[in-house]
Chain A
Amino acid sequence: MTFQIILLAAMIAASAFAVLARDLLKAAVALAVSSLILGVIFFRMGAPYAGVFEISVVAGLITVLFMLTIALTKQGDDVRESKTVKIAFPLFFLVFALIDIFIMRGILAKVPALEGAAEAGTFGEVLWKERSFDLIGQLAVILAGVLSVLALFRKRDRHDHE
């Protein structure tokens, strides 16, 4: 129980840091840490799959994406949006969200599920035995992220003439 509380506290701290940090890269890393902790929490609450996915998706992938985005926007111009779009898009999004909420609520209430498909196993088992293929994927994602950052922050040798 104490461990749980510590984890929660750590997660909140990491999240707060992610929001408050001025350096975007640090913020991204903080978010990753926060997600990682969330994954562990999931696992401890008896949802090993959710934990594994949380770690796969958020801690691994989203972080890479964030870093990539930061790398891209640092050098690129701001993306300008026109006024009509500024109005039209939120409106549309609102409508979409409303529809989504109502339909999804209706549907989610009715989503059938198979009996006895409860998640089971330890974190290690799930990660290593069941989802080991994803591990390779995660490695690859991180590798891709590293390579991307390398590529995007490379010295712009021989390319300046463009």
Chain B
Amino acid sequence: MTPTTLLWMILLPAFSALALLAVPKTVKYVRESLALVSAAVSLYLAFALFAVKDLSWSAAWLGSIRLELRLYQFPAFILLGLAGFLFLITLYSVVKMKDHPRVNEYYAYIFLSAALAFGAVLSDNFVPLVFFWEGLLVTLYALISLGGKDAHRTATKAFIISGLCDFAMILGIGIVWSLSGTMTISEIGLKPEGPAALAFVLMMIGAIGKAGAMPFHTWIPDAAVDAPVTFMAFMPAAFEKLLGIYLLARICLDIFHLEPGSGLSILLMVIGAATIVLAVMMALVQKDLKRLLSYHAVSQVGYMILGIGTAVPIGIAGGLFHMINHAMYKSGLFLSAGSVEHRAGTTDLRKLGGLAREMPVTAAGFTVCALAISGVWPLNGFVSKEMVFHGALETGSIIFAVAAWVGAIFTFASFLKAGHSVFFGKRSEERAPGKVKESPWTMLVPILVLALLCITFGVFNKLPLTQFIQPIVASHAEAGAHLDFTSHALDLFNLIAGISVACLLLAFGIHVYGFKRGGNKAYLASEPIHHAPFFKQMYDWAEKRFFDIYEQGVKFLQGLSWVLFKGIDRPIDAVFEKGATAVGSAFTGLLRKAHNGHYANYLAWALGGLVVIIALVNVLLK
């Protein structure tokens, strides 16, 4: 492995993207094979690099700023994850996106995103980091635009929200740069105090914004409806989570040294906890599978942020582990939803039901992933959530652990509702029996692989924890030198796990209660909560997008613009357009009135002038 491999890691998908764009639409198979091959090569490279783990490469770039790439434990791991998802989603797309009218663009954007994401992960300099990071905005916009008729609205929304976060990050980077004097990330290590604290917050906004935490999440549920489902599995579920949390971890561990119990740590935990609870409450009442999943994609980010925000080793490890776990099961879930959509033509919970019989593999994959996300023992979600709980408790603020548990309750409740409505229960009357078939294998394989990974990472959790997570945390000395995963009980039989299990049982109870109240209709299972006194009002407001940062932000922007335009710009223009003319004609009018054509008048001026001049000359002479 030569250092240039790092560059090829980025260039390969980029060139593939160009090649994919160039493949004519009429040619069959070439595009798909090309995509698969290059995804596979990327995955291979990622594996190879993961084995090496220590490389750096740099080249002259922006004047004195160099294009610095650096590979070590952490990026190598993320890179592997990204490449893996790229491959799986490409495989899935082979069938799912086959008939999409702009399929070549789709592949091109996917591979471009991959290239940019690889670049962002490998960058060891803020400038290339921002370059790749913000470059993802373009592919984000493009990919969402590929959806339905109104997709461009959502695309704009996603673009602007992400842009906001990225700009915040740029400002943060600027401050970091002026404090530390270098753009090379590995040379920086600041204490988040004073201006550095501001920089921390700004960079954090960039990171969690990418990951889709509240309040920067609102485009995700919209995209779930408008954008292709593969995009959802690819970007919000996998890539953006990995990138966002990766950067958050780097911010908390490398660039700044976050102290447990510090104000910033609390801030992060508050954001995490709020995201968990609020997003899951929204997820609970959704009637569309993709929308429901998308809210979970937001909610789960809360756990990661909470974990990293604790700044204690177990919490950080939990957050990171949750990141990779979440990417697996959430991709799996989106892909299953895509599979359902592919065959049943809809993801509306009200129109689905009993699909387990027709689509058993999909149903199985979905179930495993759903249980994993709900934190059911012994799946991977259970382990990582436990670690987060431990971390939260270790900081001494029980409230955050409580919030995490509340999240767990409703997560499970909403997945019970979703799974029940889609795969179990009665078959929907609208659907003729036998019409729906299981999806083709290329779609199923990714789902199954992801489900299996969920099981593996859960059951044999020591393996990923010691192989992947521990070295990462360990490489940041203060945080996790002695983390060996034995100090905290991660099995079923301890108090914390007990509380978690109790939460799950409670969730089951809620579901059953709601199911019965809703006249045995699974999709109505969340209605009791939906219509509870306080919640109803909140949900109504949320429905009207009162809490949507974008909608409110746009209103603010428009209002501000209007004020600036009418209040400053137009008055200034009036000064030139009307004011100057008015003053000119006023003076002119006055003077013209004096010139009335009477000789005597003029003579009087002349004589008056003479008197004045004589007086002036004489005064001035003295």
**Do A and B come into direct contact in the complex, CB within 8 Å?**
yes
CB of A107 to closest CB in B, whole Å? 10
Q: Which residues of B contact A82 (CB under 8 A)?
A: 596, 598
Across the interface, do A88 and B604 meet the contact criterion of CB distance under 8 Å? Answer: yes
Across the interface, do B599 and A92 meet the contact criterion of CB distance under 8 Å? Answer: no
In the complex, which residues 101-137 of chain A have their Cβ closer than 8 Å to any Cβ of chain B?
103
Interface string of A65-107 (1 = CB under 8 A from B): 0000000000000010110011011001100100100010000
Given A81-B598, A82-B598, A96:B611 Cβ within 8 A: yes
Across the interface, do A85 and B611 meet the contact criterion of CB distance under 8 Å? Answer: no
CB of A45 to closest CB in B, whole Å? 31
Q: Which residues of B contact A99 (CB under 8 A)?
A: 611
In the complex, which residues 16-46 of chain A have their Cβ closer than 8 Å to any Cβ of chain B?
none
Q: Which residues of B contact A88 (CB under 8 A)?
A: 600, 604
In the complex, which residues 345-376 of chain B have their Cβ closer than 8 Å to any Cβ of chain A?
none
* Interface check B180, CB cutoff 8 A: no
Chain A interface residue count, CB cutoff 8 Å, equals 12
- Please report the C-alpha to C-alpha distance between residue A93 and residue B605 in the assembled complex, in whole angstroms: 11
Across the interface, do B601 and A93 meet the contact criterion of CB distance under 8 Å? Answer: no
Chain A facing B: main interface SS: helix
In the complex, which residues 253-301 of chain B have their Cβ closer than 8 Å to any Cβ of chain A?
none
Which residue of B is nearest A80, CB measured? B598
Q: Which residues of A contact B604 (CB under 8 A)?
A: 88-89, 92-93
Q: How large is the interface on B (under 10, 10 to 19, 20 to 34, 35 or more residues)?
A: 10 to 19
Interface string of B592-622 (1 = CB under 8 A from A): 0000101111011001100100100000000
Which residue of A is nearest B598, CB measured? A85
Which residue of A is nearest B605, CB measured? A92
Across the interface, do A92 and B598 meet the contact criterion of CB distance under 8 Å? Answer: no
Q: Which residues of B contact A96 (CB under 8 A)?
A: 607-608, 611
Across the interface, do B607 and A85 meet the contact criterion of CB distance under 8 Å? Answer: no
CB of B602 to closest CB in A, whole Å? 10
CB of A68 to closest CB in B, whole Å? 16
- Please report the C-alpha to C-alpha distance between residue A81 and residue B603 in the assembled complex, in whole angstroms: 13
Across the interface, do A93 and B598 meet the contact criterion of CB distance under 8 Å? Answer: no
Which residue of A is nearest B604, CB measured? A92
CB of B311 to closest CB in A, whole Å? 92
CB of A65 to closest CB in B, whole Å? 16
Which residue of A is nearest B610, CB measured? A96
CB of B595 to closest CB in A, whole Å? 13
CB of A85 to closest CB in B, whole Å? 5
Which residue of B is nearest A90, CB measured? B600
Choose one: B600, B608, B614; the contact of A81 (CB below 8 Å).
B600
- Please report the C-alpha to C-alpha distance between residue A74 and residue B247 in the assembled complex, in whole angstroms: 100
- Please report the C-alpha to C-alpha distance between residue A93 and residue B603 in the assembled complex, in whole angstroms: 10
Across the interface, do A79 and B599 meet the contact criterion of CB distance under 8 Å? Answer: yes
A89, A93, A99: most-surrounded residue (chain B CB, <10 A): A89
CB of A142 to closest CB in B, whole Å? 27
- Please report the C-alpha to C-alpha distance between residue A88 and residue B605 in the assembled complex, in whole angstroms: 12
- Please report the C-alpha to C-alpha distance between residue A85 and residue B598 in the assembled complex, in whole angstroms: 8
Across the interface, do A92 and B611 meet the contact criterion of CB distance under 8 Å? Answer: no
- Please report the C-alpha to C-alpha distance between residue A94 and residue B317 in the assembled complex, in whole angstroms: 106
A81, A88, A92, A103: most-surrounded residue (chain B CB, <10 A): A92
CB of A105 to closest CB in B, whole Å? 14
- Please report the C-alpha to C-alpha distance between residue A1 and residue B600 in the assembled complex, in whole angstroms: 45
Q: Which residues of A contact B608 (CB under 8 A)?
A: 92, 96
Which residue of A is nearest B607, CB measured? A96
- Please report the C-alpha to C-alpha distance between residue A79 and residue B603 in the assembled complex, in whole angstroms: 14
- Please report the C-alpha to C-alpha distance between residue A92 and residue B603 in the assembled complex, in whole angstroms: 10
- Please report the C-alpha to C-alpha distance between residue A92 and residue B609 in the assembled complex, in whole angstroms: 12
Q: Which residues of B contact A92 (CB under 8 A)?
A: 604, 607-608
- Please report the C-alpha to C-alpha distance between residue A92 and residue B599 in the assembled complex, in whole angstroms: 14
Interface string of A136-155 (1 = CB under 8 A from B): 00000000000000000000
CB of B604 to closest CB in A, whole Å? 5
- Please report the C-alpha to C-alpha distance between residue A82 and residue B596 in the assembled complex, in whole angstroms: 10
- Please report the C-alpha to C-alpha distance between residue A79 and residue B598 in the assembled complex, in whole angstroms: 8
Across the interface, do B611 and A81 meet the contact criterion of CB distance under 8 Å? Answer: no
Q: Which residues of A contact B607 (CB under 8 A)?
A: 92-93, 96
CB of A109 to closest CB in B, whole Å? 16
Q: Which residues of A contact B600 (CB under 8 A)?
A: 81, 85-86, 88-89
Across the interface, do A89 and B611 meet the contact criterion of CB distance under 8 Å? Answer: no
Which residue of B is nearest A99, CB measured? B611
CB of B613 to closest CB in A, whole Å? 13
Which residue of A is nearest B603, CB measured? A89
CB of B455 to closest CB in A, whole Å? 109
Which residue of B is nearest A103, CB measured? B614
- Please report the C-alpha to C-alpha distance between residue A86 and residue B598 in the assembled complex, in whole angstroms: 10
- Please report the C-alpha to C-alpha distance between residue A81 and residue B601 in the assembled complex, in whole angstroms: 9
CB of A98 to closest CB in B, whole Å? 11
- Please report the C-alpha to C-alpha distance between residue A82 and residue B600 in the assembled complex, in whole angstroms: 10
- Please report the C-alpha to C-alpha distance between residue A99 and residue B607 in the assembled complex, in whole angstroms: 12
Q: Which residues of A contact B611 (CB under 8 A)?
A: 96, 99
CB of B615 to closest CB in A, whole Å? 9
Q: Which residues of A contact B599 (CB under 8 A)?
A: 79, 81
20 A/B residue pairs, CB under 8 Å, sorted by A: A79-B599, A81-B598, A81-B599, A85-B598, A85-B600, A85-B601, A86-B600, A88-B600, A88-B604, A89-B600, A89-B601, A89-B603, A92-B604, A92-B608, A93-B604, A93-B607, A96-B607, A96-B608, A96-B611, A103-B614
Q: A79-B599, A93-B604 are in contact. List 17 more A-B contacts (CB 8 A).
A: A81-B599, A81-B600, A82-B596, A85-B598, A89-B600, A89-B601, A89-B603, A89-B604, A92-B604, A92-B607, A92-B608, A93-B607, A96-B607, A96-B608, A96-B611, A99-B611, A103-B614
3 A-B pairs with least C-beta separation: A89-B600, A85-B600, A85-B598
